[in-house]
A = this chain, B = another copy of it.
């Protein structure tokens, strides 16, 4: 399958280029994001003070903005770093964690979308629907939305913002407005570990720092996370649980190979 070959090649490119990925992110999953970026072969730098984010992003090949544990101090940093990244043609990946959970998050997401040209937006179904202006009943940072009309939402938002939209869930949906695909890798256990969404975004950021086609980069990042999840789950013995599963995610990302992508990647089209 042509697209799997391209994913596999993008992994090799990433490992050759070792792009530096600047994160302005939350303090819950920041260690996981740094380690997943290292595991896939890129290099992380986490920095969020408004006095330095423009310096830092200038050294980077991609910028990840993650809205978890949002605070007033870092909103300005997100906007400054995002604008500087735009000037330097560095791709910006946005993860609207907890969209809908508070007015503060909703307003911040609006500011970021209005002020920064985004290469990719990754979220779960409810977060993306809310970004697209639809009504969704939310529960904390978790989604209650159905997946049925996901394709329309992804395509519509991608066209409107001229960005790539990645909706992750049981079936992941990736669209740049023209091209749309579905990924059927992953495992339900991924939803029982904090940060797997954030890590998927950081993986997308890692691929965006290495390849110019952000649709392909998003597909590669989301698939990497899915493959790691299913391999980690298959490896568990009955006595093992969610702690060991989480550690094996990193094992499987660091051991991810072209062969694994070609053999187990499951991409489909409408």
Which A positions have Cβ atoms within 8 angstroms of B?
A: 20, 22, 26-32, 34-35, 38-39, 43-49, 51-52, 55-56, 59-60, 68-73, 98, 101-105, 138-142, 192-195, 235, 239-244, 246-255
Further contacts, 8 of them, CB under 8 A, given A35-B242, A55-B102, A242-B251? A35-B243, A39-B192, A39-B242, A56-B101, A56-B140, A241-B254, A244-B247, A244-B248
| Protomer copies | 3
Chain B residues, Cβ within 8 Å of A102 = 47, 51-52, 55-56
Select the residue from A35, A98, A194 with max chain B CB neighbours within 10 A: A194
Partner of A30, one of B27, B48, B49: B27
A247 to B105, CA, bound (A): 32
In the complex, residue of chain B having the shortest beta-carbon distance to the beta carbon of A37: B194
Specify which of B34, B101, B251 is in contact with A47 (CB 8 Å cutoff): B101
B residues near A247, Cβ cutoff 8 Å: 243-244, 246-247
Q: Are B34 and A194 in contact (CB under 8 A)?
A: yes
Check A195/B31 contact, CB under 8 A, given A38-B242, A70-B49: yes
Task: Give the residues in chain B near A244, CB-CB below 8 Å.
Answer: 247-248, 250-251
Tell me if B243 and A251 are in contact (CB < 8 A): yes
Among A47, A139, A248, residue most surrounded by chain B Cβ atoms (within 10 Å) = A47
A14 vs chain B, min Cβ distance (A): 14
